[in-house]
Each structure stands twice: as structure tokens, then as C-alpha cells.
Amino acid sequence: CRILLHITGIWSKNIPVIVYTAFYASDILYLLDAVSMIQMVNLDIHVEDVRIRAILSSYRKRIPVTEGYVEVKDGGKWKQICNAEWNEFNSRVICGMFGFPGERKFNARVYKMFARRRKPTYWDFSVNCTGTEAHLSNCKLGQILAMKSNETCAGGMPVVVSCIPGRAFAPAPMTGYRKAFRQEQPLVRLRGGAIVGEGRVEVMKNGEWGTICDDHWNLLSATVVCRELGFGSAKEALSGGQLGQGMGPVHMNEVKCSGFEKSITECPFNKEALGCSHEEDAAVRCNVPAMGFEQRLRLRGGRNPFEGRVEVLMERNGSLVWGTVCSEGWGTMEAMVVCRQLGLGFASSAFQETWYWPGEVSADGVVMSGVRCSGTEMSLSHCLHHGPHLSCPRGGGRNSAGVSCSETAPDLVLNPQVVEQTTYMEDRLMFMLQCAYEENCLASNSDQTPANAYRRLLRFSSQIHNNGQSDFKPKAAKHLWVWHDCHRHYHSMEVFTTYDLFSLNGTKVAEGHKASFCLEDSECDEGIEKKYECANFGEQGITVGCWDTYRHDIDCQWVDITDVKPGDYIFQIVINPNYEVPESDYTNNITKCKCRYDGHRVWMYSCHNDGSLSSETEMMYPGLLNNQVTHR
């Protein structure tokens, strides 16, 4: 009874002694069999009931905590685990659940000295992990150490683990952890995730990025991906394109990893991905180290926890104080970082006025200004910003920065094959281009062109898909749309796409742009109904799983190449170039093509979306590396 009661956690001090003396040999054997059966059961331990506690002074102030005692909360008290039955597989699991890809050796002598000076309080059990578990609770119960000896953990010491942080979280000399780093061409990446360590899994094959089909997708395979990318074990293995759909090929199907592979590309898989569509794209959510970034930022005054005035904790005059962020230059990228830092998903709006959100009165003062983010930072403090000398001409208060966040976001992707297949050249009389001229869709010197002269236009169609998790809708409210009398339609976005022609050395030789005269669902995937239609002043947008087609024969769907000389060029299209509408992934908003113009005909070839090819292949598009898209 003592054995069983102890294991099940209902040990009672009031059990009579006679109970212990009433067992026969057969009963004891039966009880021991019961003990072995219970040891096969998984541990019932929650995430918050396990921790790594830094012991040595050199690790106590480090973030994240990478080395220390492994402790389990039992009966409301933190207890250490005896190292008598501990092995490297157990350490691997512990490091993985705390966001670290692997474990390493440590100086055991120092910890033995520490254990002698302070008497540890031991947990009564050991753990038996295989090394592939995502959490300690998935491991089997090991030996019952309290029964092996009168003295628990005789000759042993508390379990210590030392974990290897991923490159993004590794401490760097002088500056702490790395805020940004450049790595070699990876074979695996995550796309479309709201926070660090989650996203759609994409793998490199034959110089082209592609997705993984979710058939047989599980935590073992997901954990291999997470560890390969410098995170810990996987929290979730997601299927059904839950984090957005990719484009291009499906490279792998029916992946079956053992859990110890160094890369997902080493796992056995079915090379035939027949029947797999991007609706079955696999994704992951990984365990990442606790950096504590969310404790230095908060939203106040909003109607719900997903919106409000941004308040940050900054050091001013030797002490930490809460204050506001200057809204000058505040935009979507900065809002994205705030929402990520707080674990609230994606930004849905960035606000430069927050008078309608009264924050904490004690935090009205501006403590951060000049913020400029790339959108990939883990914390707002990692973005470029002014130091102790602030500059905020508009002041804080009603002009403080604010955000609203959303768990989902759209993701616009252009179909490059449509551009390649529909390109042609047209000579059009100037008097037939008056509306286009009024909307600045012609070259800057077109105002000198006589009405009976021709402009040479490079025409093409663009098919823009929404592969995200929410509808793409214009930033401006319907009552703010601009009516263009010439074309007899509303513009819901000032610039929806830009079209540029570059020389091979990166010089822009021609340009055009397309205001969103109409954002609507031209076609949709099977089973999805059209939601947006521009007719009769209807709602504008692009539904998830639908696409909007700008045909080659409509105004401004061109680049004016009248003054362009024959030669080889790079053609580039950018969707949502000013980041007016937040998206889950901006890296796929750029499409590039090689273009050849001989003075009489024009060809587009090798069209692809940015980031869809390997870096070596991208090098074949010279000139664009020093002409990155920026509108800040």
C-alpha cells in the first residue's frame, strides 16, 4: 500500500503499521508488478511545473537561462531530481522543451561542491526518456529512488543540464545575444508565422524552395525541423495549411523522422507527392527560449487586450520607467514587432494618434523616439531608435504610437507564370491615353508628346492570390476612397502595385504603378465563395483562397518603355509596396523576370517570386541586390 499510495501521490501518514506487516510474499510480488506497470505510464507534469534554475552566479543574470538545476514542482514545492538514473536523453528533452536545440557538458565538480554546502530536496522519482519526446511529461516514469536506499540519492547530486542556445539566442561578446545575424544558405525555413519559431515548413531542393505535404506529419518530424533551425522541440505539428499556403512545388510527402536526424532532409519520405496540394502544407510551432521581452512592453487604453497605446519600459536617468513611443514615422513594420513581442500575432493597424486610448497617466512621457524596424526583430528595443537624446517634435500624449493586433493576416502572392505568358508590346496614340496620363501611368516626359504621337507600352496581366489566413482589405475606410471621374471608378489604395524596369547594373530605366481601382475576387479555389465585388460601390478586398486578376488590356497595367533602348533588362513587380496593409509575409511580394527587348518585340522569361529560389540562383539577377525595395 505504501508503494502504491506513494506513486499515486496520495501518501498518508495515518496508515496503521499493521498494514505493512500483513503482506505475504505473493502479495509483494504482485505489488512490485504493479509498480513496474505504473512506471510505464507517462508523467503528469505541466509545462509550468518544470524549470531550469541557474545556480552559479555567472549564469544567474543571463537571458536566456541555459544551465542549472532541473527542478520539478511537487506538492507546491520545487524539488531537484537525483542524477543516479539520469542520462543524456533526459537532458536532450529538457533542453528541447526550453527552446534549445541540444545539450552540452558542464563542470560537474563545481556543482558537487555546491550540493555539499546546501542540502537539496529531492523528487522521489527518476525519469526515463528516449530523447525524442517534446516534453518531460511524455517520458516514462523511471526508478523510485526513495525505495532504493534509506537516504535518497545517496552518493549522487541534483541533475544539472547545460543547453546550447540557437544562434539567434546565443550570447555575443559585448552586446549580449545576437540582435541580427547572417547565416549560410539554409535548407529549411519557416514562413508565414506570427512569432519566432513558427511557420509553414519550406525546404530547398534543386535550387528552389518548396513545401512539405502533411501526410504522416507528426511531432517527431516537426521537432527535427525546430532543432535544425536553432529552436527546441516542437510544441505543435500543424497540418492543412493552417499557417498559410505556399506556392511552387511540394518537395516532400509522408515524412517519417526518427527524431535524431540533423536535418529534415535526412528523413525518409515518399518522393512522389501525387495528390498533394498547398491546402495540405505542413507547419510547426517550436519551443523557443524565454527571453522576457513581453515584460518590457504593454498596451494600454484599448477596448480589448489586442489594441492600445504602446508603452515601453526604458532606462532613464539610471532607473527603469514606463513611457510612450513617439509616433513620428510609426508604421506597419513597427506595429508588427510590437504584436510579435507581446505574442499577440500580427499587426492589423498602426496608429500615430491615440487620444482615444487613455493609457497609464504615469506613463505619458515619451521614452523612445525615432523607431525604425525591419519587421523581423524580436523586440522593439532591437529596432533602430534614438538613444538618450530623444527627438519628438509632435510630442507624446495624444500623438503617442499605438497598435491593434490580430491572430491572422493576409498574404498576397503574384503568379509569375501569368506575367510571363501574357507579356506583349503595344503602340498607342497619346490622345487615347489621357486618363492614364492624369493618373501618372506614363513616363515623366510624356507631357511633351503630341496627341497624334504614339507611346510604346509593355503590357502584361497580373494575377494576385491571397494565400494567407484572413482577407486582404484596403487600409482606407470606404468613405475615404477617392473617385476618379475619368475612369469612373474608386481608388481604395493610392498605390497597390509598382512596375519597374531595371538595367542589368540596377539602374531604373522605366516605371509604372497601379492604383487599386478595384480589389475584388476574380476567381476562387473550389469550395470558396466570392465575397468582394466592385460593382455598384461594393466592398473591395481579396478573400482567402481567391485571386484578383488585373488584365493586360486595362489602363495602367503596363510600363511605358517609349524611351527605353533595346537590350536585356530585369522587370520587377511589387505588391503592397508601402506596406499599407499588414501581411504575414512580405518577402514574397516581389516578382522578378528577365526581359529582352529588341526594339520590335519583347520577351519575359525566368519569372519568379522573390525568395522562391536559392541565393545562388538569385545572383543571376544582377543589379537588384543594391536596389532593395524600400519606401520608408
Residues 537-570 have pLDDT tens digits of 888 999 999 999 999 988 889 999 999 999 999 9
Q: What is the mean pLDDT of residues 88-116?
A: 92
Q: Which residue has the higher pLDDT, 23 or 307?
A: 307
Which uninterrupted H or E stretch holds 4? helix 2-8
Phi/psi of residue 432, each to 5°?
-90, 0
Q: Is the pLDDT of residue 368 over 90?
A: yes
If one counts every other C-beta atom within 10 angstroms of the C-beta of residue 614, the result is 16
Torsional sign, CA 164, 165, 170, 176:
negative
pLDDT of residue 632: 37
Share of the chain above pLDDT 90, in %: 58
Residues 227-242: tens digit of each pLDDT: 999 999 999 999 999 9
CA gap 487, 328 in Å, rounded: 35
Q: 241 forms bridges with which residues in the sheet?
A: none
Q: Is the pLDDT of residue 449 over 90?
A: no
Residues 139-152: tens digit of each pLDDT: 988 767 654 544 66
Q: What is the mean pLDDT of residues 591-608?
A: 94
Residues 6+ apart with CB under 8 A from 151: none
Nearest 5°: the CA angle 179, 181, 183 is 155
Distance, first Cα to last Cα, the chain: 72
CA gap 556, 487 in Å, rounded: 11
CA nearest neighbour of 414 among 585, 547, 249: 547
Q: Is the pLDDT of residue 17 over 60?
A: no
CA 458 → CA 9, 276, 423, 462, 561, distances in Å? 77, 36, 7, 13, 6
pLDDT of residue 340: 96
Residues 6+ apart with CB under 8 A from 44: 137
Which uninterrupted H or E stretch holds 607? strand 602-609
Residues 459-486: tens digit of each pLDDT: 999 999 999 999 999 988 888 888 777 7
pLDDT of residue 518: 81
CA 70 → CA 60, 133, 234, 529, distances in Å? 14, 17, 20, 53
pLDDT of residue 244: 92
Residues 234-293: tens digit of each pLDDT: 999 999 999 999 988 999 999 999 999 999 999 999 877 667 899 999 999 999 999 999
Cell numbers of 533, please? 465585388
CA gap 629, 632 in Å, rounded: 10
Rg of the chain in Å (alpha carbons)? 30
491 confidence band (pLDDT: 50, 70, 90): confident
Q: Which residue has the cell 532591437?
A: 382
619 confidence band (pLDDT: 50, 70, 90): low
24 confidence band (pLDDT: 50, 70, 90): very low
pLDDT of residue 31: 34
Q: Is the pLDDT of residue 16 over 50?
A: no
pLDDT of residue 516: 66
Residues 6+ apart with CB under 8 A from 349: 335, 403, 404, 475, 582
CA gap 304, 547 in Å, rounded: 32
pLDDT of residue 452: 85
* Residue 586 C-beta-side C-alpha neighbours within 13 Å: 19
Which uninterrupted H or E stretch holds 490? strand 489-491
CA gap 449, 82 in Å, rounded: 86
Q: Is the pLDDT of residue 630 over 50?
A: no
Share of the chain above pLDDT 70, in %: 85
pLDDT of residue 25: 35
pLDDT of residue 628: 39
Residue 407 — left, alpha, or beta (φ > 0 → left; ψ -120 to 50 → alpha)? Answer: alpha
CA gap 430, 425 in Å, rounded: 15
pLDDT of residue 181: 47
For 296-313, letters b (16+ CB in 10 Å) and e give bbbbbbbeeebbbbbbbe
CA nearest neighbour of 582 among 410, 351, 328, 354: 410
pLDDT of residue 145: 64
Torsional sign, CA 226, 228, 233, 238:
positive
Residues 166-199: tens digit of each pLDDT: 988 886 554 445 454 445 567 899 999 999 999 9
| Domains recognised in the chain with CATH numbers | 2-39 (no CATH), 47-164 (3.10.250.10), 188-286 (3.10.250.10), 293-406 (3.10.250.10), 412-626 (no CATH)
Q: Is the pLDDT of residue 122 over 60?
A: yes
Query: What does pLDDT average to over the chain?
Result: 84
Please tell me the least confidently modeled range out of 81-90, 102-111, 115-124, 407-416: 115-124
Q: Is the pLDDT of residue 339 over 50?
A: yes
Residues 6+ apart with CB under 8 A from 485: none
